[in-house]
Chains A and B, each alone.
Chain A
Amino acid sequence: MAKNKQIREPEGFATWTPSDGHLLDVRNLNVEFNTRDGKAKAINGASFHLDRGETLAILGESGSGKSVTAQTIMGILDSPPASVTGGEILFRGVDLLKLPEEQRRVVRGRKIAMIFQDALSALNPVFTVGWQIAEMFRVHRGCSKAEAKDMAIKLMERVNIPGAAARYGNFPHQFSGGMRQRIMIAMSIALDPEILIADEPTTALDVTVQAQIMELLKELQAETGTGLILITHDLGVVADVADRINVMYAGRIVEQAEAKELYASPAHPYSEGLLNSIPRLDQSTGQLVAIGGLPPNLTKIPEGCAFNPRCRYAQDVCRTGEVPPLVDLGGNRSSACHFVSELVAGTLQPNGLQVVTGIQPAVAEENGDQA
């Protein structure tokens, strides 16, 4: 533990100022998984950035690479089978991928922390929650046991766990789902990280509890000015909290926009499809417009635009041409579609082809992404 303290922060962290660029800048990231069926390309050149105090949502279905992105930033990918095959992750101007493992440990938890989806499996069942929260202070800050306990109880109070001191000695199974998620949040904010990555933080929770947790995250962010990356498949949750949204499909960012604009006029057929396919609480709609087909198998990503087999606007250029790059549309917005200008203008006509819902081999599920 003492050894940990001797490792200094990577050079450049201290001298970095916001004027030097984005707090987190992910550039052209590529991650592959070795599977029995060949290489599964989980992330194919994803680029995005995050500033202080900002909430960025990464929106995508299972297998889109959103959880893998989070794990890559945290440096907790299992490799093998995974390997980062390209790109850089600049945090405070330093490429995390080039840091030795010892120095990454300094970043992990202290600078960038993560909230996992399933708190019951993320917490250790044989230790009390208090002990687990206090561990953060003992290991990273070198606090004494008593100090660490005091700080842990304060932290439990801060995330609104009633009777924090009394519940310090409880085990994870003695808490409800929402309370466990609060404990996860307490652990993640323990060391005042600059970036918080929340991977589907409310997916396993009921709506009323989901609202409580999102409220808590918002409060904490306002207090500390942390940059928040919210990874989710739920368009409703995102609408509520995100400043900007990145829509991911088959390991690429296909659209990047401010939340309001994305919902008002999506600039990619996939985003449009997602918005049309969900029923709404505030409207009684007619038939839902489903996106046909299935997310692609990551070992066999379709040629051209990965979305083309499911896209109702797809033309020949989408099927055989180059992968459409993420083009800047101005106004902090970009889209990776050949026909983006027509789509935004509303002049794009569906190609009239029926999307086949027939069988494809089951979607690769090796990458630990959960629906």
Chain B
Amino acid sequence: MSEVVLEARDLKKYYPVKKGVLQRTIGHVKAVDKVSFELHAGETLGIVGESGCGKSTLGRLLVQLERPTEGKVLLEGRELKTDQELREMRRDVQIVFQDPYTSLNPRMTVGDIIAEPLLIHKKDLGLKGTERARVQELLEQVGLNPEHINRYPHQFSGGQRQRIGIARGIALNPKVLVCDEPVSALDVSVQAQVVNLLERLQRELGLAYVFIAHDLAVVRHISHRVAVMYLGQIAEQGEADQIYSHPMHPYTQALMSAAPVPDPVIQAQRERIVLSGDVPSPANPPTGCRFHTRCWKAKTGTCDVNVPVLEHKGKADHMVACHFAEELTSVTA
């Protein structure tokens, strides 16, 4: 396997909950709670989970838009401490945001938007006035017309705006691109165009992606490895095909079975697990296994007391955090 480019080690992000006139901290929202993983060069790690599971916070931690409460992000094995190190790191780890409507400044031209990272890192990169040519090259690379460099974001459709966001993300030749729900705001026919673009760029530039999404089918399509998050923690992690064909964590199984397959014949044969209830509040997560309140396999005395550890089970690289992990193969078959 290729080298590790990005590593998260016991990452935690707690947001304080304040109350009253004195704004005293009365508790914490544990958005990300002890998450560790490795990202290898040129691979795609998909992160799935329901809203509020902390997947977007994790993405922001990886690009250091948020500083972790505890834990570290290592870039090629190096820890980042000084501002100078962070600045260098930001060249290598870039992000594409979910909403192509709010993540582009409406008062800047597309050329300026894409050139901005180049200008910020101009000194470090030793650039001298060649940004325009580079921007046009980038526009072409993401399938936009280079002549439209002087247009404004509102003159583009959603899919095209997402392409602009991607062009900005790859402007500095990063090693890692964190994509936070990059296609969920797009129409299905346009979604495929953007997914194909991301795959092509990965082949051409050797990028590694952290692909955060709630759409399980898209994640399966684009990812080599997948991590399933629940309430700020990774419940299951492993090779994409392995996770999708042999999910071991009950939450993954429920998630897979709830996602519809676009084929009425197959859909009618699938076994459905409909979870009851909603995701508990991350400010007050359940004791023991965080999933036990919605889990149909939970046993009192074990699941509500002991916290399960994310450990290797089944095939290599397949990690599950469940006391009673067992295979349930019929769910997606």
Contact = CB atoms under 8 A, between A and B. Distances in A.
Given A236-B262, A294-B157, A279 B220 contact: yes
Nearest to A371: B187
A235 B260 CA distance: 9
B267 A294 contact: no
Interface of A: 61-62, 176-179, 206-212, 215, 233-240, 259-260, 263-264, 273-275, 277-282, 284-285, 287-292, 294-295, 310, 357-363, 371
B272 A62 contact: no
Main secondary structure of the interface of B (DSSP, over half): helix
The 10 closest A-B pairs by CB, nearest first: A236-B260, A279-B221, A290-B192, A277-B192, A211-B258, A291-B189, A206-B50, A235-B262, A61-B187, A288-B192
Contacts of B258: 207-208, 210-211
A177 B255 CA distance: 17
Contacts of B154: 362
B307 interface: no
A208 B258 CA distance: 5
Nearest to B199: A287
A273 B188 CA distance: 10
B236 to A, nearest CB: 15
Contacts of A212: 274-276
Contacts of B50: 206-209
Contacts of A282: 261, 263, 266, 332-333
B interface, how many residues as a size bin? 35 or more
Interface stretch (B67-75, B114-122, B142-150): B142-150
Contact of A211 (B156, B192, B265, B274): B274
Interface of B: 50-51, 143-145, 148, 151, 154-160, 185-193, 195-196, 199, 214, 216-218, 220-222, 240-241, 244, 254-267, 272, 274-276, 278-279, 332-333
B155 A284 contact: no
A198 B328 CA distance: 34
18 contacts: A212-B275, A236-B261, A239-B260, A259-B264, A263-B262, A263-B263, A278-B188, A278-B217, A280-B217, A280-B263, A281-B216, A281-B244, A281-B261, A282-B333, A287-B199, A288-B195, A291-B192, A371-B186
Nearest to A280: B217
B192 A179 contact: no
A363 B214 contact: no
A294 B190 contact: yes
Contacts of A215: 274
B189 A357 contact: no
B217 A279 contact: yes
A211 B216 CA distance: 14
Nearest to B48: A207
B39 to A, nearest CB: 20
B188 A274 contact: yes
A206 B51 contact: yes
A281 B262 CA distance: 9
A282 to B, nearest CB: 5
B259 A61 contact: no
